[in-house]
Amino acid sequence: MLYSKAASILPSLFILLNQDLLTIYLFRLLPPSVYYIYLLWFSCPLPEDMKLSILISSSLFFGGVLADQHNFCACGTRHGRNAVQDAYWDFDTAASTFACTRYRNRNTGTKQWDNCPDCKMDTYAMDGWSGTPSCFSFGFHMGGDEFDYYCGLKGLQGYCKNAE
């Protein structure tokens, strides 16, 4: 019992006590990428300089920003989940129209999500509500973070998804 309390309180002591349990601990609590780096570094029989070059090159390869583009977004309020029901949204047509207009007029660079020449209001089934007034982009120009910013100007959150 004392061993498990020390392990939960002092991670550095835990590393020294049992490396196999550390692997299980990392696998359960940390993101998979950290676990794979751990496995590469400590379990692979490669020289240290080769491990370092693999780590750096894989970080450069996988470290790029992957942005999700969407074709339907709306502004609303997310109500929390509890023991009785799942989370649900209340959408706001005026805020969605405001955000859609702001996104259509946006021109902040050369990336796909930096401008949206085809943004327009339409309806879509979002979060179980059919016919939700939403901003639509045929060319998938809307980024979720960017749309969320414009919804935030009206005190709401952005909710984006892709039409199937």
- What pLDDT does residue 156 have? 96
Residue 3 in tokens: 């061993």
| List of residues 6+ apart from 157 with CB closer than 8 A | 75, 76, 77, 78, 148, 151
Distance of CA 87 to the CA centre of its chain: 18
Residue 112 clears pLDDT 70, i.e. is over it: yes
Q: What is the pLDDT of residues 22-70, one digit of tens each?
A: 455 544 555 555 556 666 566 667 676 666 666 666 555 544 445 678 8
- Rounded Cα distance between 81 and 89, Å, is 11
Tell me which H or E stretch contains 63.
Answer: none
SS3 153: coil
- Rounded Cα distance between 96 and 158, Å, is 9
Task: Select the more confidently predicted residue: 118 or 62.
Answer: 118
- What pLDDT does residue 26 have? 44
- What pLDDT does residue 55 have? 61
SS3 126: strand
CB of 134 within 8 A of CB of 123?
A: yes
